[in-house]
Structure 1
Amino acid sequence: MADITGDQRIQSEVLEGLATAVNHRRWFVELALPYLGDNPIEIGSGLGDYAIEWAEHLPRFTATEADPDRLVLLKERMADYPNIDVKQMLLPAPESNGEYSAAVSYNVLEHIEDHVGALSSMKDLVRPGGRVIIIVPAFMFAMSDVDYATGHIRRYTKKTLSAAFVDAGLEIEKIHYANALGLLGYYTATSIFKLAPKEGPMVKIYDSLVLPVTKAAERIAKPPFGQSVFCVARVPR
């Protein structure tokens, strides 16, 4: 099996910092929600922030985590949510029962060397006609010390992510960039000022002032670039 690379401590610090970006998370929750179906599985749930918000709208949800220490914390947190199951999962995975309505994974694929194998495993987890929903960081020029420290192997364009989906046997329904202003802010912070996106005033200002403007603009027209690539693909029937 392929392992997830990077410093787990730094990954946790970044996750904790980004957990304070409430508007950003709610935007990305909304992007996937129409495609999740009635029984989705999330690959790489981290601290469970997305899982909790998605599960509010669903009868059943499965959250997963590869790191054993983070898995313990995830199980403890999800004990208060009876419709959320928690399990350990590392991709590529041998499980292929196809019982889930969708597989969703945010900011995980860029950590995995065999990303086509990981997408293929997600496809095998989902019943025919269901979806695989992915968000990954965009554009290699934005690759920074923060990316390497958190275990990023690559960043994507629509073209490179599309190629991985097609190689995994998935049928792309939707793919676009998201959070154009976020890319500019991330590049400035991490590549020029050498800062990590941890909890603090910079994240709060971005989330409260910049993010709502970006979200509103991108509802009108999808940008030609962004901090992330969002993709929805169907599992062939």
Structure 2
Amino acid sequence: MDLAYETTYHELEEQHWWFQSRRDFIFSLVQDLNLAKDTALLEVGCSGGPLLQRLRHEGYTNLTGIDLSAPAIALARRRQVPNVQVMDGARLSFPTAAFDVVVASDVLEHIEDEQQALREWLRVLRPGGCLLVFVPAFQLLWSDHDVVNHHFRRYSAEQLRQSLTRAGLHTQRQSYWNSALFLPAAIVRLVQRLRPTSQSPPSGDLQVLPGILNGALLTLLRCENRLLRHVNLPVGISTFALARKPV
């Protein structure tokens, strides 16, 4: 992603409603796996480490994080997140079958050769291990936000499933996430396309919101998260899948 945007990203990732609510849901999905506390878990694209911090706080002891960004890993270390390092998510230096779980949230869309990345994530998983992957949904939502973030694509749930299948993973669950804001987001994207082309550099969607609005959006998505524990949703701004490596 653009360097200026990355700075904003790290400033907001702990308290921003989007990151908090998504992190809450990823954490709940990990908990639902009923893992032992010493389960080997790798987070690809750990950024400044807030998810690893939470998992560690909840007693998980065998955690590893990587990120392509040196400033992100430096921030994670300043936050006293252990066992993190700079590494390309599509070219892992870990041995084969090193992890029970791999988490990759908003990473795959940044990698041009998605199959290279998925094969690597499959390689480092132990037989029967789980991959939890989140990606932005629907090409119709493409915007300057994707450009600033250096995305190569957005996915439908079916496209994500097909990509996982081609890599040799068996999808166990998939759904969309952030359905509550899908329609407003789609309308905004349509209006942006109808406006005259701007000559100013593209900018992302991240911004500091008033506390009340940030809290309201966080509450809305936490309610959706509770619903998602029981049902899958037909549309959303993101899509996710839980897949397993064959035994």
TM-score (structure 1 length as normaliser): 0.85
- Is it true that 1:25 corresponds to 2:23 in the alignment? yes
- Residues of 1 paired with 2:148 and 2:190: CA distance? 13
Identity of counterpart residues, as a percentage?
Answer: 24
Which residue of structure 2 aligns with residue 198 of structure 1? 207
Amino acid across the alignment from 1:229: T
- Is it true that 1:221 corresponds to 2:231 in the alignment? yes
Per-residue deviation, residues 127-173 of structure 1 (Å, max 9, x unmatched): 11111110111111111111111111111111111111111111111
Check conservation: 2:45, 2:107, Cα contact below 8 A.
yes
- Trace 1:68-79 onto structure 2 (pairs within 5 A): 68-77=70-79, 79=80
Per-residue deviation, residues 56-89 of structure 1 (Å, max 9, x unmatched): 3312111111112222222221x2x5xx411222
Check conservation: 1:145, 1:190, Cα contact below 8 A.
no
SS of the residue corresponding to residue 101 of structure 2 reads strand
The structural deviation recorded for 1:176 is 1.1
Which residue of structure 1 aligns with residue 140 of structure 2? 141
- Trace 1:122-201 onto structure 2 (pairs within 5 A): 122-188=121-187, 192=191, 196-201=205-210
Check conservation: 2:135, 2:239, Cα contact below 8 A.
yes
- Residues of 1 paired with 2:189 and 2:5: CA distance? 14
Which residue of structure 1 aligns with residue 65 of structure 2? 63
The structural deviation recorded for 1:36 is 8.0
RMSD: 2.3
Amino acid across the alignment from 1:136: V
Change (3 A) 1:76 1:162: same
Q: Which of residues 9, 15, 40 is equivalent to 1:14?
A: 9
SS of the residue corresponding to residue 89 of structure 2 reads coil
Amino acid across the alignment from 2:159: T
Q: Which of residues 198, 212, 218 is equivalent to 1:207?
A: 218
SS of the residue corresponding to residue 180 of structure 1 reads coil
Which residue of structure 1 aligns with residue 55 of structure 2? 54
- Residues of 2 paired with 1:29 and 1:221: CA distance? 17
- Residues of 1 paired with 2:172 and 2:226: CA distance? 23
5+ residue gaps in structure 2? 193-202
The structural deviation recorded for 1:220 is 4.7
Change (3 A) 1:190 1:33: farther
5+ residue gaps in structure 1? 1-5
Change (3 A) 1:90 1:68: same
- Residues of 1 paired with 2:136 and 2:221: CA distance? 16
The structural deviation recorded for 1:180 is 0.3
Moved over 6 A (4+): none
- Between stretches 108-117 and 191-200, larger displacement belongs to 191-200
The structural deviation recorded for 1:10 is 0.8
Which residue of structure 2 aligns with residue 34 of structure 1? 32
Which structure has the bigger radius of gyration? Answer: 2
- Residues of 2 paired with 1:12 and 1:108: CA distance? 17
TM-score (structure 2 length as normaliser): 0.82
